[in-house]
Amino acid sequence: MILRWCSATPGSHAASSVFCAPRLLLTGRGSRFSVKTSIGGESVSTEQSAPQASLEEKPRNKAVFKWVLMIALVTFFAGLLFGYDQGVISGALKGIGNSFNVGDGAKQIITSWVTLGALIAALVAGMSADRFGRRPVLLAAGLLFIAGAVIQAVTPGVEILVLGRLITGFGIGFASVIAPLYAAEMAPQRIRGRIVSTYQLAITFGIFIAYLVSDLLDSAEWRTMFLLAAVPGVILIICVMIVPESSRWYVKMGRKDKARESLSKVTEPAEVEKELSEVEAQVNAEAADGEATWAEVFSPRVRKALIVGVGLAIFQQITGINAIIYYASTIFESAGLVSTKSQTVATLYCVGLTNVLATFIAVAYIDRFGRRPLLLMGFIGMFVSLCAVAIGFGTQSTADTGAGPSIVGIITMVGLVVFIASFAFSLGPVVWTIISEIYPGRVRGKAVSFATAANWGAAFLVAEFFLTLTSGIGESATFFLFAAMCILGFIFTWRYVPETRGRSLEEIQEMWNKGGSIKSWDETAPKP
C-alpha cells in the first residue's frame, strides 16, 4: 500500500500549501493479495485473487479508497487545529502586547493556557469517546475550536482572551486524543502508521500556514489571525459528519446493524460478516470482565505499555520543540536577526517549511523502516543540533556580533533547522502513532487519554517556564538542558520502546501479554 502526497504547483491558489490530498494505492503481488484491517482493536486478514494492478480500478475498491481518504482528512484537519494555533500565537503575541500593554508574564499565561485546556480535555476525552462515540467528541472539538477562535478575535481584554485560549485548548485536547485513536481503529493495518502520522503532518502544516499568515498580516491584525483559526474547525465538522462511527463502538453499544454499515464502507462485501463476528467476539470477551476502570489502566498487565506511551509523550515535549515553535521570533532575534520582517521570514521557512517537509519522511517510511529506527535517529539529530544551538548562544553572549546575523548567529539558526527536521521525522509523528496503537482495546480510550494528557502537561510546563528559564540560566544552558533530555530519550527508546511496524492491534496486545521485552518483539518483527 502506498500513500502518496504532492506539492502545490507554483502560482496556483494552493501555492501556500505543500500538501495535496493523500492518495492510497492498495496493490497486490502476483495473483493474490492480503490485507489486514484494524477496526476498533480488531484485526482481520482477507485474501482474494487480484491482478497486479491498483485496486482503484475496481468500483468497489474506489469506494473503500474514498472512505479511507475521508478518515485521513478527519485526522488531518484535527491536527491542523493544533498546528495553526501553535504557530499563530508566535506572530500574534507582539500585537497583543501592544494592544493591551502586557509583559512577558501575561504573554506566558496567554500562550500556556491553551495547553492547560488541552490537558484538562485530554483527561476526559477517552471516557467521553467510549460513552458517546468517537464522532461526537470530534464534533465537539471542532465546535470548541470555533468558539475559542471567535472569542479571541473579539476579546475586549486580556481576561476574555485567556478564556478564549482555554476554550481553544479544550477543542485541541479532545482532537489530540480521539483523532489518532479513530485513525488507528479505522485505517488498514499495513498503512496504519501513515494514516495516524497524518495527524502530525497536519500539525506541521498548520504551523506553516500560521507563519505564512503572520508574514502576510501585520502584528496589529492579530484579531484576524485568530479568527482565521475557525476555518479548520468548520472543515473538521464537515468531514466528521461524513465519516462512519467506529464499528467496534457500535457493537459495544449493541447496535449491530450500524456496525455492519460502518464496516461495509472500509471492507470488501464478502468479508463484512466475518469481521463483524470477530469484533463481536472481542467486545463480548471484554464485556465479560465488566467495564474497564482507571485502576486497570495502571495494572501490571497494562503498565509496560503505559510507561512506553507516557514516556514518549513527555519526551516529545521536554526536548524543546514547543519552546522553539512558541518563541521562534524571540530565538531568531537573539541569534542576530533584528528586524521583525527578517524574524518572520526566518520563522516561516526555517521552522515552518522545514517542519512540513521533514514530516513527509516519517509519513513515507514509518511503515517501511519502523518506529524505533526513526525515533533513535531523531534523538541523535536533535542532540547534536541542540548542542550546536547552545554553543552558539553561549559564544554569542561574549562576542560583539554587530548589526545583523553573525557567524555564530548563522550557526545557531542552522542548528535550529536541523533540530526541527530531526524532530519532524521522528518524535513528532511517531509518538502519536505508537500511543494510538500499543494499548489493549479494553483500556485504549482511557490509556490514550492519560498518555496524551501527560504530553499536554509537559507542553504546559515548557510553555509556562521557558522564558523564565532562559532569563534565569540563559539560552545556552537551557538548550543544553534540552539536549540532555534527548540523551535520556534515546536511552529510554533503546531500552523500552518495542517495534510495532506491521503488526495488527491484537498482535501488539499479544506481545504485551507475553512480556513485551524488546528482544521478543524484535525476534518476530516483520521485515520491510
> What residues have CB less than 8 Å from 357, skipping those under 6 apart?
18, 421, 424
Quickly state the pLDDT bin for 233 (edges 50, 70, 90).
very high
Please report the pLDDT score of residue 219 as a whole number: 79
Most confident listed range (100-104, 167-171, 460-464): 167-171
Q: Who wins on pLDDT, 278 or 203?
A: 203
Please report the pLDDT score of residue 286 as a whole number: 67
* Torsion sign across C-alpha atoms 321, 153, 202, 263: positive
Residues 475-494: tens digit of each pLDDT: 889 989 999 999 999 999 99
Burial of 11 (0-12, 13-18, 19+ CB in 10 A): exposed
Residues 65-75: tens digit of each pLDDT: 888 889 999 99
> Measured in whole angstroms, how far is the alpha carbon of residue 295 from the centre of its chain?
27
**Is pLDDT at 183 greater than 80 in this prediction?**
yes
Please report the pLDDT score of residue 525 as a whole number: 45
What is the average pLDDT score of the chain?
Answer: 78
**Is pLDDT at 508 greater than 60 in this prediction?**
yes
Domain 56-243+292-523: which CATH number of 1.20.1250.20, 1.20.1420.30, 3.40.50.2300, 3.40.190.80:
1.20.1250.20
CB 489 within 8 A of CB 25: no
> Measured in whole angstroms, how far is the alpha carbon of residue 456 from the centre of its chain?
12
Quickly state the pLDDT bin for 6 (edges 50, 70, 90).
very low
Of 203, 204, 186, the residue nearest 195 (C-alpha):
186
Residues 95-116: tens digit of each pLDDT: 898 888 887 778 878 888 888 8
Per-domain boundaries in the chain:
56-243+292-523
**Is pLDDT at 4 greater than 60 in this prediction?**
no
Least confident of 124-138, 373-387, 404-418: 404-418
Please report the pLDDT score of residue 267 as a whole number: 74
Residue 502 C-beta-side C-alpha neighbours within 13 Å: 14
**Where does 66-155 show beta strands of DSSP type E?**
none
Please report the pLDDT score of residue 289 as a whole number: 65
Taking residues 234-241, report their average pLDDT: 95
Distances (CA, A) of 373 to 147, 312, 348, 523: 40, 14, 29, 16
> What residues have CB less than 8 Å from 291, skipping those under 6 apart?
none
Share of the chain above pLDDT 70, in %: 79
Least confident of 51-65, 430-444, 459-473: 51-65
